[in-house]
Chain A
């Protein structure tokens, strides 16, 4: 069976520095890959290159055999990729509910149907489910900028799942959240992985969070894979 994601010799240069240096790996469907390494080892840049926030200087990325190197982020998203960002990136002015619907609406219907169809793009129920699943009940109408840090991280992750992605890149999902939320999050991710067969790549600085979760681990130091 071919790999879901295959990264080959990915390199990203900024001037004379190589933030990512010849990284190669493959992930099968249903795997949970942890990417660990010290700060500045290029983990987030690796995500940027895979997802399209940055164009890689060299190398290739394939999703289910299809080359996606250098595609725009919105195109990668529509092919089934999703991600979170290191500092929770949300639509701060919008409510939790609106954040979730925004995260899923582009994957339903067409540009035209989004203009003339239902204002919630048919996602009201899915958003409500997601709110419950990630224990954000009661906060659905609160502005995302007004949530606590832990809640923002949870919302960030919930948004990533709104479009039922095949592969999710999670960038330090447990950073700065308290123990209870961290455990809850681990359990939720395990549940999604089991139920929907979703595949994850998780960046974490602390190996503890991913130790019980991940099926494999990749260690990155100064842009290079060392293990």
Chain B
């Protein structure tokens, strides 16, 4: 079986599992699965920024938070749910663009620190500006969306709604990677000097990747607010930003399915390892350091190498296809 077929088969099986598995889960389990789905959206966004444009953002958690708070603020005031989407996506894209624009003016590494400072400031607004965000008490009674009169409030319905969102986002990003934009990013990564010389505006493409990545973080935040039906500042700390970054890397930076796998390790795995809850982040960080030292292509890279070894037992070691 050739590696491409193996990949499609895995994806197909994965899709079936995602559709069928809710029926065997408890309410808690379904909650975790829904959380995984929207976390993957945030990770897909960050994968655009990191994997396509090679930029490190330490602010994705802040964009998720901005999306969540915007949603809470407008839907509790009676605005329709789609408005929250548009607002969150647009606001986060604009902010991402602004940060990226500043960062690209400086030759030295800058975006990581700028997004770090941005995240710190946004967190303080969430926590301190009670008149706007409710401070430490947050905002309550965030409604879940309804589609054409049909309520999506039930756990099953909402899960499939989030899954649908994930599929749309993943499909859009898949399309982007196949398009000339995807080629532009590949060229930008491979040889930025040559890319500029053939007319490729590396700055513009990088800005698009940063903006879109931030926007998808906002979209994830919209779903997050609707899932918990309550927003408070605590989750949107630096730890969330770092966690999202590390899960993109762990899954496999720049790989299409990387974020799915990375989010699973970050969100689903800890539930199974409840006993080690307090030490999970420590072990997670250690795993990433080891990955960076020995297998920087992440889990997908490891899986591919295994697959190649299994499907071509006697051949000369071939390069694993991307």
Contacts and interface: CB of A to CB of B under 8 A. Distances in A.
Interface in A63-115: 72-74, 77-78, 82-83, 85, 89-94, 98, 101-107, 111, 114-115
A10 B193 CA distance: 22
Query: In the complex, which of the residues A78, A102, A106 has the most CB atoms of chain B within 10 Å of its own CB atom?
Result: A102
A116 B181 CA distance: 9
A56 to B, nearest CB: 17
Contacts of A53: 193, 196-197
A96 to B, nearest CB: 13
Interface string A153-178: 00000010011000000000000000
Contacts of A51: 197
A188 to B, nearest CB: 19
Contacts, number: 91
A54 B201 CA distance: 16
A58 interface: no
A119 interface: yes
Q: Chain B binding site: helix, strand, loop or mixed by DSSP?
A: helix
Contact of B201 (A93, A106, A119, A121): A106
B190 A94 contact: yes
B197 A105 contact: no
B186 interface: yes
Contacts of A78: 199
Given A51-B197, A74-B199, A92 B181 contact: no
Contacts of B195: 91, 102
9 contacts: A73-B197, A77-B198, A93-B189, A98-B183, A102-B183, A106-B201, A107-B199, A117-B179, A119-B179
B196 A105 contact: no
A107 B199 CA distance: 7
Nearest to A113: B180
A85 to B, nearest CB: 7
A91 B194 contact: yes
